[in-house]
Amino acid sequence: MLRRTFLHSAAGLTGLAATVSPAMALVEININKGNVEPLPIAVTDFVAGGDLGQRITDVIAADLKRSGLFAPVNKQAFIEKISNPDQPPRFEDWKVINAQALVTGRVSQEGDGRLRAEFRLWDTFAGQQMTGQQFYTQPENWRRVAHIIADAIYERITGEKGYFDTRVVYVAESGPKNARKRQLAIMDQDGANARALTNSNEIVLTPRFSPSRQEITYMSFEGQQPRVYLLQLETGQREVVGNFPGMTFAPRFSPDGQRVIMSLQQDGNANIYTMDLRSRTTTRLTSTAAIDTGPSYSPDGARIVFESDRGGRQQLYVMGADGSGQNRISFGDGSYSTPVWSPRGDLIAFTKQSGGKFSIGVMKPDGSGERILTTGFHNEGPTWAPNGRVLMFFRQPAGAGGPQLFSIDLTGYNEQQIQTAGYASDPAWSPLLE
Amino acid sequence: MSRTEVPAAGRMQTLARNPAIIALFMGLALAGCANKKNMPNSAGELGLNNATPGSTQDFTVNVGDRIFFDTDSTSIRADAAATLDKQAQWLQKYPNYAITIEGHADERGTREYNLALGARRAASTKQYLSSRGIPASRMKTISYGKEKPVAVCDDISCWSQNRRAVTVLGGAGM
């Protein structure tokens, strides 16, 4: 159980009016600008009995730094030592080291063993508390508390939802390229708490989260029969999705979690089908002598983007959720694949192959406004952070090495490698946890 | 999570959160099913003269178990057709073998598309063998996309070896 409580202002400087219409003059980041100058923020060690306070603040600072929007100030520069986070800090001490925002907090153990963590976010130049919250949870959830606090700071200052309290499922790869072992794995978005979800010698590919965060759909070659499966994360229970007369692949959930959409291969052609998970009925959505695959729903569930080589090379197409009105949207030089609709609905991310390079890019759902975010020997398979501001993908080097995961901002800036124990591919970002 | 600013009066707002602790589990270990090994492709590796007629080795060495494709293509090339003609003759001579045709793609494509491309290559190979008199009931197909390369390097010569369809013998004595 994780409980959240909002803390009222400790400063005594803000009255009711100031909190009801928040922060006209308070520090903020315009996330829509391309290369944002990171905001200097001081994240002080939470007051605590042990080292947990420092561990929590290290996770918060690392989240904020990796976002590219914040520059945590070196702790060596701090003048004031926060000993009582209920008292307003000495703002002058933080202004003089140019910390425009300040995070203070406390962590303690309750009598029943639960962890209590609280934080306050301060605007040092305005001399005001911007937000404050406290949490009760089990001690083993301490990293989640840190991510939730980082999300609260990110949201308060940027006006956008955060994405730190999330997980990523992916394919963990090991061994030489011509005898690669692949397992499904899950980790926190920062690479912590990684663990395997499968342990077999069968190939497993393309895990995707359900909107409920409780299950994933993926493809497995179990029994030499490549098919789409469901996996319940809490119980480990698995089941085949549907009883199709051929290879099923490229699965994703519908936004309401009630359907899985995927491709069915029959002879030389792949077409797109859905299966309703309650009624078990299947519906065929495309019917071409071509490879139609990579389907991804719009967040309102009304439309589907997919890739097809019906016109020769792979291109992106959009259709209604019933398969109606299939229209090509990509017309650039090269071929396009692995489309993924943004959780905000405004963009579609894709892999583009052109001139011997593999790029990650985005375009509007009508195909306009194409932008390439990163390009190189082989970048593939974008997935969106739940706030639609950051993408993760995998990058395969030339030669005998293996793929690694990277994230990049929608602006094309702030590319970062996600540290994994071995090779990793096919990342899929969860919604915010609950 | 809805976010409400705190009234200064200090009314606490509590929101429940699910700890969402996902149980660790491992051990989806499956019934062991020995993978078919890709057979060496060169006669020298095996000793050309040692292959027993009608054996898997005979098929691999003296007939050739694989054909290759052009980039992003599923057409049966002339050299591939010659190999498949020999495969068909051999399979008619030894009718107890069922076969699985494995379709593969090189690494220069995206994962999902390459699964379909490998399936197409396997399908066109099956279709060719069928046209040479091998009954469809003896043939199965499977695609491994780009997931099982045989050659590892970063140039065109390497990729061309991975764009392949491999005829794997099974069911001897059936």
How large is the average pLDDT for residues A255-279?
Answer: 96
What's the mean per-residue pLDDT of chain B? 76
CA distance A400 to A381: 20
Note whether A290 contacts B: Cβ–Cβ < 8 A. Answer: no
pLDDT at B15: 28
Q: Select the residue from B3, B28, B37, B72 to test the A interface by mutation, using most A Cβ atoms within 10 A.
A: B28
Q: How far is CA A412 from CA A35, A176, A375, A392, in A?
A: 9, 32, 10, 12
Q: Are A271 and A287 in contact (CB under 8 A)?
A: yes
Residues near B107 by Cβ (< 8 Å), separated by ≥ 6? Answer: A378, A396, B146, B149, B159, B162
Angle at A207 between CA A178 and CA B115, to 5 degrees: 50
CB contact under 8 A, B28 and A19: no
Q: How far is CA B167 from CA A211, B76, B151, in A?
A: 41, 14, 17
Mapped onto helix, strand or coil, the DSSP state of residue A118 is: strand
Radius of gyration of chain A (CA): 23
Q: How far is CA A6 from CA A144, A397, B3, in A?
A: 17, 47, 9
Contacts of B142 in chain A (CB under 8 A): 224, 226, 247
B5 to chain A: closest CA residue: A19
Q: Are A252 and A271 in contact (CB under 8 A)?
A: no
Note whether A294 contacts B: Cβ–Cβ < 8 A. Answer: yes
Report strand pairing: A39-43 vs A70-72. parallel
CA distance B90 to A139: 68
ipTM score assigned to the predicted complex: 0.92
pLDDT band at residue A22 using 50, 70 and 90 as cut-offs: very low
CA distance B87 to B165: 12
pLDDT tens digit string along A368-424? 999 999 999 999 999 999 999 999 999 999 888 899 999 999 999 999 999 999 999
From the list B11, B14, B5, the residue with the least C-alpha distance to A136 is: B14
Q: What is the dihedral of CA B127, B128, B133, B138, to 10 degrees?
A: -50
Q: Are A266 and A281 in contact (CB under 8 A)?
A: no
Q: Select the residue from B17, B150, B152, B157 to test the A interface by mutation, using most A Cβ atoms within 10 A.
A: B17
What's the mean per-residue pLDDT of chain A? 92
Task: Using CB atoms, pick whichever of B1, B10, B142 lies closest to residue A8.
Answer: B10
In one letter, which amino acid is B170?
Answer: G
Note whether A3 contacts B: Cβ–Cβ < 8 A. Answer: yes
Neighbours of A93 (CB within 10 A): 16
Residues near A84 by Cβ (< 8 Å), separated by ≥ 6? Answer: A47
How large is the average pLDDT for residues A307-330?
Answer: 97
CB contact under 8 A, A4 and B116: no
CA distance A190 to A171: 16
CA distance A294 to B153: 28
Residue A315 has pLDDT above 50, yes or no: yes
CA distance A225 to A213: 27
pLDDT at A404: 98
pLDDT at A199: 84
Q: Are B52 and B101 in contact (CB under 8 A)?
A: no
Radius of gyration of chain B (CA): 25
The phi-psi region of residue A23 (left if phi > 0; otherwise alpha if psi is between -120 and 50; otherwise beta) is left
pLDDT at A27: 78
Q: Are A306 and A348 in contact (CB under 8 A)?
A: no
Q: How far is CA A110 from the centre of its chain?
A: 32
Residue A309 has pLDDT above 90, yes or no: yes
Give the rounded percent of residues in chain A with a pLDDT score beyond 70: 94
How large is the average pLDDT for residues A205-213?
Answer: 95
Helix (H) or strand (E) holding B141: strand B139-145
pLDDT tens digit string along A87-137? 999 999 999 999 999 999 999 988 898 999 999 999 999 999 999 999 999
pLDDT band at residue B156 using 50, 70 and 90 as cut-offs: confident
pLDDT band at residue A365 using 50, 70 and 90 as cut-offs: very high
pLDDT at A3: 73
pLDDT tens digit string along B55-114? 999 999 999 999 999 998 999 999 999 999 999 999 999 999 999 999 999 999 999 999
Q: Kindly report the backbone phi and psi dihedral angles of residue A383, in degrees, each rounded to the nearest multiple of 5, phi listed first.
A: -135, 145
A331 to chain B, closest Cα gap in Å: 18
CB contact under 8 A, A6 and B13: yes
Residue B34 has pLDDT above 90, yes or no: no
CA distance B66 to B144: 14
Residues near A259 by Cβ (< 8 Å), separated by ≥ 6? Answer: A253, A274, A275, A276, A277
CB contact under 8 A, B142 and A224: yes
Q: How far is CA A124 from CA A53, A221, B159, in A?
A: 22, 57, 58
Give this prediction's pTM: 0.87
Q: Position of tokens 């004595």? A: B173
In one letter, which amino acid is A86?
Answer: D
Note whether B34 contacts A: Cβ–Cβ < 8 A. Answer: no
Give the rounded percent of residues in chain B with a pLDDT score beyond 70: 69
